[in-house]
Structure 1
Amino acid sequence: MKRTIKFNLFPKKVGGVLVECRPIRMRVCYAGYRVDFRVGYSIEPEKWNEEEGRVISNTKNRFRQTAGEINKAITACEEQIEAIFTRFELLEKRVPTPAELKTAFDEATGKRTPATEAEESGQPFYKAYAEFMETMGRLNDWTKATYTKFNSLRKHLEAFNKNLTFDEINEVTLQKFITSLHKADLRNTTISKNMSFLRWFLRWAHHKGYNPSNVHETFKPKFKGADGNAKEIIYLEWEELFNLYSFKFPPSRSSLEAVRDVFCFCCFTGLRYSDVAKLRRSDVKKDYISVVTQKTVDGLIIELNKYSRAILKKYENIGLPNDKALPVISNVKMNEHLKVMGEMAGIDEPTRVVYFKGNVRHEEVLPKYALLTTHCGRRTFIINALRLGVPAEVIMKWTGHSDYKAMKPYIKIVDKLKVAEMDKFNKFPIPRKKGK
C-alpha cells in the first residue's frame, strides 16, 4: 500500500486569524486520498526544519515545550499511522477510507474508545479473534511478522472448523486441532508456537468474559523436540565472520555489500533485525548506540567496537530514508541475499538440522549458507562474546535478555567448544628425552 507521510505546519491563518505559533500537521497521501491530522503541538516557523519535518534541536515553543518532546510526539504519530496501514494490509487486505483511517488513529491515540463488531454481536469466536489482534497489535506494537503469524494461526483454525465457538473449546477440541496441524505436515516446533499463540488469545478472551473455559491454563501438551534442546543454533565462527566481513564481491553482485554490512553490524552488536531496521543516526552516539527494542521495549546502551563503528562510518554521509543509520532492506529479501553471499564467501560447513513431526525424528545435513538468516547475526555476537570471555551478565545488558534461561543454549555451545580445545592437550605429542 503505497503512501507518503509528511509533517509540516498549518497555514499562517487559522479561521482567518493570523497565528505566530502554528500547529504541526501530519499529511498522509495514499490511493488518491489526502488526509490531515493534528500532531497536538505548535511551533514558530523559524524553529521548524521543513526538509526534515521536525523541530530544530535545542529550541522550545511559546508553551516551553522542548524540541525533543515535540519530535518524539511526531515520531509516535508516524509509527501509529504505519501500524494502522499494516493492520489494514494484513488483516483487512484492503485500503482504508479516510474516515476509517481517522477513526483508527483517534482510537490508537486515545481520542476515541473502540466499539467493535465483536462486542455488538455477542462475540463470535473469529470476531473476537479479530478484536484480539487489533487490540494486542496496537498495545504491543506488533511487527508485520507477528501479524503474519497470528493470521497463519487463524487460517489453521478456520481449516479445522470455520464455525468454531467458545462453547466448543475444551481439551478434546484442542487435541483434535493439534491432530489437524500434524496432518498439515507442520513441525513440532511450529505447532508448539501456534498453541502458545492460541493460549494467549484464549486467556485474553477469558479475561474479557467471552471465553467461559479456563482450558488455556490446564491444557499444556508436550511436543517432542520443541524444547530447543534438539535445535541447532546457527552462527558464524570467528573466522567465518571475518571472511565475510572482508569479502570482496564482484561488480555484478555489488548490491550484496550493503546486506553484508548490515548483517555484520548485527554480528558485532547483537541487534535483532527489527532493531537495526529502525536504527536512526540520532541513536548513534560517540561511543555507543542507544536503542529501544521493538520486541521487548527495553532501553539498551550498546557500546561500539572498532568493527561496528567502521560500518556506521561507511554510511554516515550517504543519504538514507527516514534518517536511517544503515541501508536495511526487508527481512525477507535480506534472508534471501544472506544465503547467496554466504555461498559466495565459502560459508559451506556441513551443518546438521534435527526436527520432529509428531514422534518421528528427521535429520538433514545442509551447507551452513543455506541456513543463514538475519537472526544468526545476534547468535554470532552472543557466542563469540562468550568465547572471548565476556561475562554473561554483561552480554545480557547488551542483548536485553532478562534471565539465564535464554542464554543457556549459547553457554552450552561454548562449554562444548572448551572441552574440544582442552582435548588438544591430550593429543599433543610427548617430546622424547635427550639421549633416548
Structure 2
Amino acid sequence: MITTNFFLVKTGQKTAVVRCAVILNKERSRFSTGIRIDVKDWNQKEQRLKTSVSKPINGDINQQLSMIAGALSRSYLVLKENSEDIRAKDVVEKYLGKYVRKQTFWEYTTEFVENLEHKINKSTGKRINQNTINKFNQVVSRLKQFEADSRSKTTWDSFDSNWLNRFINFLHTQGLSQNTIHKHYKALKQILKQASAEGVNSNDKWQLRDFSVAQEKVQNFSLLESEMKVLEDLDLSGNQKLERVRDQFLLECWTGVRFSDLDKLSDIHLDSDTFKVTTQKTGTEVYIPITEPVKKIVRRYRERGEVLPPVISNQRFNDYLKELGKLAGLNRKFRKSYTKGGERIDEVHEIWEVLTSHVGRRSFATNMFHRGIPLVNIMKITGHRTEEEFMKYINVDSEMSAKMIAKRLRDSS
C-alpha cells in the first residue's frame, strides 16, 4: 500500500499551503492540495490542524485532508488492479485526473517485436531483416523462460544489476555461450532504450555501468592461400555437388562477399576488373575485385553453357563444406577457447571440422592484408567501418605483423 504524508513548506509567512507526499516502494511524489492554512494551527506530528471551538473551519479542513488520503488510496487500488508497474507518480496523476496508462513490459515488448517487420532500418532505408527479428524473438523467449523459472514477474522496475546477474546465471544453466548471452543482453537493452525514449519506461537503472555483460573475443581462423589452392586443384569431376560448393566457397575467398550475396555473382562481367554488389545485409553498394581466380571459375561454367550454380541453404552448404575440407585433407590444427554454460572450454579441431561459409569472407580479408593491401581498400570491400572492428575480424598474430613490417622495410630500403 501507499503511504500519504501531509506537510507544510514554511516560508516565514503566517499562512502556507498544505502539500502532500505519496510514498510507494521507496519512491516519493509530491503535489499541492491547494488548501491554505494558518501556520500556527498546524500539528506536524498529527499532520492535521489543531481544532478549537473558535476555529470550526479547521475541523472541516482536517476532514478534507482525510478525504484526499482516501481518494489517493482508492486511486492506487484501481491502478494496482489493472497494472503491475505502479509508481508513486502514477497514483498522484490518477488522483489529479492526469494519469495516462503506460504499457507493461510484456505489452510493450510484444508490440515492439510484432512491429519490427514493418519498420525501416534508418541506416539502410530497408525493412528490418528476418535475422534481426529472430534475435528479438529469441531474447523474448529466454526472458519468459527466466520469469517462469524464477517465479517472479518481469516489470519495468525489474531491470537492475541484481536482476541482470540472475538472468545471466539462468542463461548459463541453459548452456549458452558468453557471446550468445551478450547478444541477448544487447537486444534487451535496445528494447529498454526505446521504451525509455517513448516515456513508457521510467526506470533508468539499466543505464548504470554495472548493468553490463562482457563480450568474449571470438577465436576464428582463415584459410591460407596454399589451402585455397589445394581446394582449387582437387579433382571433383565425379562429384557435382562438392564441385559447386567448392567453387562458390572459393568465390567468397577471392571476392569477400557474404554467403547471402553469392547469387549476385552470376552477372559478373569477365572483361572488367570490378563488379558492383548491393549487399543484402546492409544494403550498401560495394565494388568487389574480379581477379583471375574468379574469372576462371565463372568462365568454366559459362563454357558449359551454365550460370553459376544456385545457392543452397547455409546449413547444407556448411555440411557439404566440411565434407569437402575432409576430402581435401585440410587437417591443420585450430585451437578454440570459449565460455559456455559458465565454464571455460578449450577445443582443438582440424580445420575441416569447423569449416563454414563465413571462413571464405574472412580468408579474403586476412589474405589481402597479408599481401600488404592497405586497410582502407580492404574495408571498402568488406564494409567494416573502423580499423579496430576490422582487426578483430581478420586473423593476424604478432609474429605475422612483425614479418609484414620487416618485409615492408626491406622493400622500401
Whether the TM-score (by the shorter chain) exceeds 0.5 is yes
Amino acid in the other structure paired with 1:177: F
SS of 2:387 mapped into structure 1:
coil
2:169 is aligned with 1:179? yes
SS of 1:361 mapped into structure 2:
strand
Q: CA deviation at 1:380?
A: 0.2
Are the counterparts in 1 of residues 237 and 243 from structure 2 also a CA contact under 8 Å? no
**What is the alpha-carbon distance in structure 1 between the residues aligned to residue 257 and residue 351 of structure 2?**
21
**What is the alpha-carbon distance in structure 2 between the residues aligned to residue 362 and residue 349 of structure 1?**
20
SS of 1:295 mapped into structure 2:
coil
1:357-401: per-residue Cα shift (whole Å, max 9, x none)?
476421011111111111111110011001111111110111111
Are the counterparts in 2 of residues 259 and 334 from structure 1 also a CA contact under 8 Å? yes
Are the counterparts in 1 of residues 332 and 351 from structure 2 also a CA contact under 8 Å? yes
Are the counterparts in 2 of residues 339 and 369 from structure 1 also a CA contact under 8 Å? yes
Q: Which has the larger radius of gyration?
A: 2
2:360 is aligned with 1:377? yes
SS of 1:354 mapped into structure 2:
strand
Are the counterparts in 1 of residues 178 and 216 from structure 2 also a CA contact under 8 Å? no
**What is the alpha-carbon distance in structure 1 between the residues aligned to residue 185 and residue 362 of structure 2?**
26
- TM-score after normalising by structure 1: 0.61
Which of residues 139, 160, 181 in structure 1 aligns to 2:120? 139
Q: Which residue of 1 aligns with 2:147?
A: 161
**What is the alpha-carbon distance in structure 1 between the residues aligned to residue 212 and residue 331 of structure 2?**
34
More off after superposition, 159-168 vs 260-269: 159-168
2:334 is aligned with 1:344? no
SS of 2:230 mapped into structure 1:
helix
Q: Which residue of 2 aligns with 1:353?
A: 336
Q: Which residue of 2 aligns with 1:261?
A: 247
RMSD across aligned C-alpha pairs, in angstroms?
3.2
Summarize the alignment of residues 90-239 of structure 1 with structure 2, pairs less than 5 Å apart. 123-137=103-117, 138-140=119-121, 141-161=127-147, 163-219=153-209, 226-228=215-217, 231-239=218-226
Are the counterparts in 1 of residues 161 and 210 from structure 2 also a CA contact under 8 Å? no
Structure 1, unmatched stretches of 5+, are 1-120, 424-436
2:293 is aligned with 1:307? yes
Are the counterparts in 1 of residues 338 and 346 from structure 2 also a CA contact under 8 Å? yes
Q: CA deviation at 1:233?
A: 1.8
2:282 is aligned with 1:296? yes
Q: CA deviation at 1:152?
A: 2.0
Are the counterparts in 1 of residues 335 and 348 from structure 2 also a CA contact under 8 Å? yes
Are the counterparts in 1 of residues 338 and 344 from structure 2 also a CA contact under 8 Å? yes
Q: CA deviation at 1:325?
A: 5.5
Q: Relative to structure 1, is the Cα distance of residues 318 and 215 closer, same or farther in structure 2, using a 3 angstrom cutoff?
A: farther
More off after superposition, 183-192 vs 210-219: 210-219
Structure 2, unmatched stretches of 5+, are 1-100, 122-126, 407-413
**What is the alpha-carbon distance in structure 2 between the residues aligned to residue 199 and residue 396 of structure 1?**
29
Are the counterparts in 1 of residues 263 and 311 from structure 2 also a CA contact under 8 Å? yes
Are the counterparts in 1 of residues 146 and 170 from structure 2 also a CA contact under 8 Å? yes
Q: CA deviation at 1:185?
A: 1.7
Are the counterparts in 2 of residues 264 and 377 from structure 1 also a CA contact under 8 Å? yes
1:167-201: per-residue Cα shift (whole Å, max 9, x none)?
43333222221111111121111111211111112
Once the two structures are aligned, what percentage of the paired residues are identical? 31
Q: Which residue of 1 aligns with 2:15?
A: none
Q: Runs of at least 4 residues of structure 1 off by over 6 A?
A: 282-285, 317-320, 420-423
Amino acid in the other structure paired with 1:132: F
Are the counterparts in 2 of residues 339 and 370 from structure 1 also a CA contact under 8 Å? yes
Are the counterparts in 2 of residues 353 and 364 from structure 1 also a CA contact under 8 Å? yes
**What is the alpha-carbon distance in structure 1 between the residues aligned to residue 326 and residue 128 of structure 2?**
33
**What is the alpha-carbon distance in structure 2 between the residues aligned to residue 220 and residue 272 of structure 1?**
36
- TM-score after normalising by structure 2: 0.64
Q: Which residue of 2 aligns with 1:3?
A: none
SS of 2:227 mapped into structure 1:
helix
Amino acid in the other structure paired with 2:285: G
1:268-308: per-residue Cα shift (whole Å, max 9, x none)?
01111122245562899833221222333321111211112
Are the counterparts in 1 of residues 222 and 395 from structure 2 also a CA contact under 8 Å? no
